[in-house]
A and B are shown apart, each in its own frame.
Chain A
Amino acid sequence: MNALALNAAGLRYDNGFTALSDITAQFARGSFTALVGPSGCGKSSLLRLLAGLEQPTIGSVTGLAQSDIGFVFQEPTLLAWRSVAENITLPLKIEGHARSEIDTRLAEALQLVGLTDFADALPRQLSGGMKMRVSLARALAKRPPVLLMDEPFAALDELTRFRLDDDLRAIWRQQDCTIVFVTHSVTEAAYLAERALVMQEGKLKAEITIDQAGRTDNFRGAPTYTEACAELSQALGHKSGHKSGAA
């Protein structure tokens, strides 16, 4: 059963730049897919297509209502004047949930990202990693069947990123949601996802399944992980396209 699908979809911006062409892909319910590729290859555009933030100029997207999508941006994208709790609950408030429901979901989301003690803090009091957690909590509070993430941890230091990667895996297992995760990092894709879609110059270039069998906590040391990294690097090729334009 697919949560999302792209059927020969293409996207051409008003300025004439073709960001995506002829993309066909399925995203099974409960799956974790990484979209990998160099900057400007169209991975963010593809994510915006899945979120309904852009409409395909050709082909079609089988998606969900925007209310069923949790979106995590590249930057934390928080409202500076609202506290952590107020940032997390804003989408719920807009959707018109009852007060008690909002409080339950807030507590749950704060716990998932480990920020229960910071509910009243303002964004400027938090570190980069914590802000990103707030952003993730805001998406999770919607209890979305689908979570779309656009290089969410790219700006963080490596240790923070490793920790957030682990947290995200745990949340995915626990929440049983479908995740599409955009990254330019081969290692991050190999570590996080069950499947990686390799993109180049607006096209899908390869689909690589990452073997999850017998996966332990120490996956970064496992041979299957190393193999996946090698396979992904190879798929990306030595001469990666470096077209500028919409990312």
Chain B
Amino acid sequence: MRYLVPVLVGIALLAIWEVWVSLANIPVFILPRPSAIGAALVDNFATLMAALWVTLKVTAAAFFWAAASAIGLAIIFTRARLIEMALYPYVVTLQVTPVVAIAPLILIWVGFDNVSRALVIIAWIVAFFPMLTNSVQGLRSVDPQLHDLMRLSGANWWQRLCYLELPAALPSILTGAKISGGLALIGAVVAEFVAGSGASTGLAWRIIEAGNRLEIATMFASLALLSALGIVLFYLLSFCEWLLLHRWHDSFQRG
């Protein structure tokens, strides 16, 4: 039922859409029928898959660097208050400045011959912050008595990190990861939009290109692929979360 109901709703909506567009005679450059979108997807399959691959690579790289840098910085922040006090305002500045506004600057700095690297950096900026705040929060919330226990056991900082802090913070870190995964994709799309033509040939660029050519069905097909990519990423991260937490964490306990 959990899966069947949303699938049925989706099919019903597509059917209504199909019938409504035919009956109301809506021109194809305004709103194409779902069947036309499907056809466009099949016709442009190779190009669209290549574009999907490009966007996926940027998203994955941005997510990876966001996770690595955020967890690393969170560990430093929780160890050294002074560093946190010194850096935190700048991290917030990076977060609150609209990324579309910084993107052209990054493109210029990294250089147009290195567009994919610029795309990753832009998407990284978008994905980084939730991962950082969640990791810091997780590392901070460790029970002080458990810290005492580690002290009494004579644990060094590395043992304390591996045995206590990281596992204890894992639920928060994974919550951050689920948010950041989606943001990395949004960041990748925004970056492609800003970068425009040239070396970037991801899905977002396909959307712009198809729009310029009034190939609205192809535009919808790209859009559908982007959504699908986002959904797959979310469920993949949810699955990782389940894998790592379901044995012991309260959030997976029933009743």
Tell yes or no: A124 within 8 A of B by CB.
yes
Tell me whether A73 and B248 are in contact in the complex, defined as CB-CB below 8 angstroms, given that A79-B167, A91-B153 are known contacts.
no
Residues of B within 8 A of A67 (CB): 153-154
Cβ–Cβ contact A80 & B249, under 8 A = yes
Cβ–Cβ contact A51 & B248, under 8 A = no
The distance in angstroms between the C-alpha atoms of A41 and B146, with both chains bound, is: 23
User: Could you tell me the distance in whole angstroms from the C-beta of A201 to the nearest C-beta in chain B?
Assistant: 24
Contact with B along A67-109 (1 / 0, CB 8 A): 1010101110101110000000011001100000000000000
User: Could you tell me the distance in whole angstroms from the C-beta of A134 to the nearest C-beta in chain B?
Assistant: 13
Tell yes or no: B143 within 8 A of A by CB.
yes
User: Could you tell me the distance in whole angstroms from the C-beta of A196 to the nearest C-beta in chain B?
Assistant: 25
Residue of A nearest to B153 (CB): A91
Cβ–Cβ contact A66 & B151, under 8 A = yes
Cβ–Cβ contact A94 & B248, under 8 A = no
Contact of A95 among B148, B151, B154, B249 (CB under 8 A): B154
Count residues on chain A whose CB falls below 8 Å from chain B CBs. 20
Residues of A within 8 A of B168 (CB): 79
Cβ–Cβ contact A77 & B154, under 8 A = no
Cβ–Cβ contact B152 & A77, under 8 A = no
User: Could you tell me the distance in whole angstroms from the C-beta of B34 to the nearest C-beta in chain A?
Assistant: 46
Tell yes or no: B247 within 8 A of A by CB.
yes
The distance in angstroms between the C-alpha atoms of A67 and B247, with both chains bound, is: 31
Tell yes or no: B149 within 8 A of A by CB.
yes
User: Could you tell me the distance in whole angstroms from the C-beta of B95 to the nearest C-beta in chain A?
Assistant: 31
Residues of A within 8 A of B249 (CB): 80-81
Tell me whether A73 and B154 are in contact in the complex, defined as CB-CB below 8 angstroms, given that A79-B167, A81-B248 are known contacts.
no
Contact with B along A33-70 (1 / 0, CB 8 A): 00000000000000000010100000000000011010
Contact of B152 among A53, A81, A124 (CB under 8 A): A53
Tell yes or no: B25 within 8 A of A by CB.
no
Residues of A within 8 A of B151 (CB): 53, 66
Tell me whether A69 and B153 are in contact in the complex, defined as CB-CB below 8 angstroms, given that A79-B167, A124-B248, A124-B253 are known contacts.
no
Among B149, B152, B154, B164, max chain A CB count under 10 A is at B152
Cβ–Cβ contact A94 & B148, under 8 A = no
Tell yes or no: A122 within 8 A of B by CB.
yes
Residue of B nearest to A69 (CB): B152
Residues of A within 8 A of B150 (CB): 94
Residue of B nearest to A92 (CB): B153
The distance in angstroms between the C-alpha atoms of A190 and B146, with both chains bound, is: 30
Cβ < 8 Å to A, chain B residues 226-250: 247-250
Cβ–Cβ contact A94 & B159, under 8 A = yes
- 19 A-B pairs, CB-CB below 8 angstroms? A66-B151, A66-B152, A67-B154, A69-B152, A71-B148, A71-B149, A73-B149, A74-B145, A75-B145, A77-B146, A79-B167, A90-B153, A91-B153, A94-B163, A95-B154, A122-B248, A123-B248, A124-B248, A124-B253
